[in-house]
Amino acid sequence: MTETAKSSYYPIEFTIGEGKTDYEKYLSTVQLLTLQKPLEERVSPEELLFQVTHQTSELWMKQIQWDLDRILAFLPEQQLWQACRSFRLVNSMLKLLTAGVDQMGEHLSIQEYQKIRTALGQGSGMESPGFNRLLAYPTKLWTVFEGVLQHRQVDLKDIYRQYEQHPDLHTLAECYMDYDDLFHKWRTHHFDLVMRTIGVEANSLKGIPTKVLQRAVIERCFPQLLAVRNEITNESGLAYGGDPLDESSEEPPT
């Protein structure tokens, strides 16, 4: 759809929507806005929301990947401030991804989703190129973090125990923790979305029980950061007379 430009903005013979303005050229809006199914091919009035949410998620994941690559380059050069800056951006984009799944959960009607499913073939979020690339990052990110610790000759627990002596390392470690937390939140919220849209006692389009997502939900990017918290808490507990953790028991103490 094209709209004639208001003369106050464009006194010349431009029409907005034809890709002729600098704004449209720079953003490739003509191509971008034809990447969604045209009205006549949509199987549901809610299909546009479904497609746009997935497409914008792929774009944000592309941007996240770019900034994670920058972090991988900054840290071996001991550029901690720059790495933290990229991490803050990455972490705010993870929040946007989570807002996207929340929005879809709140607004997509389950009956309309049953129609949209018919158009998806055997498509699955597991085939998301952006998400699959992101899954490769935690190992690489942890390796460069360990490199920084070695360079500074300090171990993880000291960063937390003596955080005032290592403010930059503590801030960096907390950026990693935020990433882990926010990635985990995306997975949890996505699981909630699946639960309220198709249920978790059903099969996905790949014929996989949707319950399998539950397994991925408990995975963490940087389990070392959770382990160090357990260690510190257990040590502090002992220092003020608490009982050591009985790892053999899953029962709460009576």
Rg (CA), the chain: 24
Q: Is 36 helix (H, G, I), strand (E, B) or coil?
A: coil
Of 28-36, 52-60, 153-161, 165-173, the segment contacting ligand HEM by CB under 6 A is: 52-60
Instruction: Please choose, from the candidates 132, 130, 150, the residue with its C-alpha nearest in 3D space to the C-alpha of residue 142.
Output: 150
Nearer to ligand HEM (CB atom), residue 10 or residue 113? 113
Considering only residues 104, 141, 148, 172, which one is a binding residue for ligand HEM as defined by CB under 6 A?
104
Instruction: Please choose, from the candidates 234, 148, 90, 80, the residue with its C-alpha nearest in 3D space to the C-alpha of residue 156.
Output: 148
Examine residue 54 and tell whether it contacts ligand HEM (CB under 6 A): yes
> Looking at residue 153, what DSSP letter applies?
T
CB 5 within 8 A of CB 16: yes
Contact positions with ligand HEM (CB under 6 A) in 172-191? 187, 190
Contact positions with ligand HEM (CB under 6 A) in 57-86? 57
Q: Is 3 helix (H, G, I), strand (E, B) or coil?
A: strand
Minimum distance between the CB of residue 48 and ligand HEM, rounded to whole angstroms?
A: 13
The number of residues in the chain equals 254
Considering only residues 99, 126, 136, 245, which one is a binding residue for ligand HEM as defined by CB under 6 A?
126
Angstrom distances, CA of residue 130 to CA of 82, 159, 222, 234: 24, 32, 20, 38
Build a one-symbol-per-residue string for 189-228: x at contacts with ligand HEM by CB under 6 A, - elsewhere. -x--xx--xx-----xxx-x-x--x--x------------
Examine residue 108 and tell whether it contacts ligand HEM (CB under 6 A): yes
Task: Report d(CA 8, CA 4) in Å as an integer.
Answer: 12
Task: Report d(CA 102, CA 186) in Å as an integer.
Answer: 9
Examine residue 51 and tell whether it contacts ligand HEM (CB under 6 A): no
Considering only residues 29, 36, 51, 53, which one is a binding residue for ligand HEM as defined by CB under 6 A?
53
Query: Which residues of this chain interact with ligand HEM, rule CB under 6 A?
Result: 53-54, 57, 100-101, 104, 108, 113, 124-126, 128, 131, 187, 190, 193-194, 197-198, 204-206, 208, 210, 213, 216
